[in-house]
Copies of this chain bind each other. A is one copy, B any other.
Amino acid sequence: MKHTYRKIAIWRYDGSVSELPDATDLALVFKALSNPTRVRILQWLKDPDSFPPQLEPAEEVGVCLKHIQARAEVSQSTASQYMAALQSAGLVTSHRIGQWTHYRRNEDRIARLADHIRTEL
């Protein structure tokens, strides 16, 4: 008697369909977090006021890239790419004000991620 697997299809509200609760999407988020520096940046952003002062209040709009770069001790291009990775994973949001791009944690998403791991992983 040959064993077979029934693939479980999930229909989402947005119309997309996947075999299981998006193992692929989940893996993409984990990939963004697979770098120690990116993890540290996310941790640092829990306390935006630990960064140097800036024109716009960090608590509200986030921390500007320059400060993140300095603290992470990586090149400007690397810092920019790190934040882009975190953003496309949905873990941070960005706010452009004038010539500055500010990054802030997406607390909603991060909380949902923890929940996701607890229930679906």
Residues of A near any B CB (own CB < 8 A): 3, 5, 19-21, 23-24, 26-28, 30-31, 33-40, 42-43, 50-53, 71, 110-111, 113-115, 117-118, 120-121
In angstroms, Cα B21 to Cα A94, docked, is: 26
Beta-carbon nearest neighbor of A41 in chain B: B23
**Given known contacts A19-B40, A23-B40, A114-B117, what 13 new A-B pairs fall within 8 Å (CB)?**
A20-B40, A23-B36, A23-B43, A27-B34, A28-B34, A30-B30, A30-B34, A43-B121, A110-B117, A110-B121, A113-B117, A114-B114, A114-B118
Do A39 and B52 touch across chains, with their CB atoms under 8 A apart?
no
In angstroms, Cα B115 to Cα A71, docked, is: 26
